[in-house]
Amino acid sequence: MRLLPISLVLLLQALFCNPSYSNELRDQQSDLSFIANDALKESGFPLSSAVEVDGWVFLSGALGTVPGKGFVERGIAPETRQTMKNIQSLLLNQGLGMDRIVKCTVMLADMSDWSAFNDVYKEFFDGEYPARSAFGANGLAAEARVEVECIARR
């Protein structure tokens, strides 16, 4: 077993055992802003619509639901369109546009929907797209066809 150099051990001890460092972490946490819309608050789900810290806005996964009403017509195109409208609306309420999104993660219930998803997704951007990853998921919340989470920068 290799031993950690003493300087590394002392550094770790200073970082994690130092009370002033703990206070500094608590102060940084006060910079967090939790964002929840009324429909989410009423739902009782244990999450925020988004969390902002230091100008970065981390959006929770969005589904193709109309707030307070449930899913739009089922299917990849209508669900994608409503999902993107929900993201757009949340950003607009924070004074941001879709052009402020830097990264999206896309979860598809069926990867064969990839092309149809892209057709709708493109409607929400002006040709400059955020970085993105996508994967097929075995079961999304509420049997959704698509879920999208994003990171935006103020």
In this predicted structure, the answer to whether residue 142 has a pLDDT above a threshold of 80 is yes
Task: Pick one of 3.30.565.10, 3.30.1330.40, 3.40.50.300, 3.40.1160.10 as the CATH number of 32-153.
Answer: 3.30.1330.40
Query: To the nearest whole number, what is the mean pLDDT of the chain?
Result: 83
Domain boundaries along the sequence of the chain: 1-30, 32-153
Q: What is the mean pLDDT of residues 66-77?
A: 91
Q: What is the mean pLDDT of residues 108-121?
A: 98
pTM of the prediction? 0.77
- Measured CA to CA, the distance from residue 146 to residue 72 in angstroms comes to 12
The pLDDT of residue 37: 62
In this predicted structure, the answer to whether residue 93 has a pLDDT above a threshold of 60 is yes
> pLDDT tens digit string along 5-40?
454 444 444 444 545 444 454 455 558 888 766 665
In this predicted structure, the answer to whether residue 73 has a pLDDT above a threshold of 70 is yes
